Amino acid sequence: MSEKLQLAVIIGSTRAGRWGPVPSQWIAERAVEHGAFEVDLVDIAELGLPHYMTEEDQWSTPGAPSAAVAGLGERLHRADAFIVVTPEYNHSYPAPLKHAIDFYMREWAAKPVGLITYGGGAGGQRAAEHLRQVFPELRATTIRHTLMFSMYWERFDDRGEFTGFAEAEPHAKSFLDELEWWARALVDARRATPLPA
């Protein structure tokens, strides 16, 4: 059997009353069921990252960063793949997600990123498109498949269950299959040859 891949699922919203943990938990469970992944669910809201980036916390500064930044860095470093679950805020993704991304450089490099979005009519896809501009700078690659939940607030049944998850199941399988392919390819590539500086 192939070795398990380490997958970090990042909850991209930190707002009081946010929906973000719901789809994040859902995809974390689908990823465990899929069989290729061990999952670390990363909630930016719980990490206590500093609001402003000090000199010591910048990835380019040699030496140890603060405990919160070092702690998330460890978790990202361990990951072979990422899933970022993000809403759309004003046609982009939330500022706290960008803040968390910006503390790190090496931790993202040569790893795949799957994007799951939600929001109004566009399903949060404008957030995804902005993240597709950001991750190549960190030398991470976003995968083609995405999952999106448009107008999710209109899609609850009589028992209060979100109906979009059942519809998304087959797409989740394709999404995770593609993420696994990239993660295994890049694990092998990193082992064979270090990424040039």
Compute the distance between CA of residue 108 and CA of residue 57 in angstroms, rounded to an integer. 16
143 binds ligand FMN (CB under 6 A): no
Chain residues 66-125 in contact with ligand FMN, contact rule CB under 6 A: 87-91, 119-120, 122
Burial classification of residue 80, based on how many CB atoms lie within 10 Å of its CB (0-12 exposed, 13-18 middle, 19 or more buried): buried
Query: Candidates 11-19, 46-54, 165-173, 175-183 — which segment interacts with ligand FMN by CB under 6 A?
Result: 11-19
The least distance separating ligand FMN from the CB of residue 44, rounded to whole angstroms, comes to 11
The least distance separating ligand FMN from the CB of residue 118, rounded to whole angstroms, comes to 6
Cβ neighbours of 104 (radius 10 Å): 17
SS3 annotation, 101-167: HHCCCHHHCCCEEEEEEEECCCCCHHHHHHHHHHHHHHCCEEEEEEEEEECHHHCECCCCCECHHHH
Cβ proximity to ligand FMN: between 19 and 104 the closer is 19
Chain residues 12-31 in contact with ligand FMN, contact rule CB under 6 A: 13, 15, 18-20
Chain positions contacting ligand FMN, by CB under 6 A: 13, 15, 18-20, 87-91, 119-120, 122
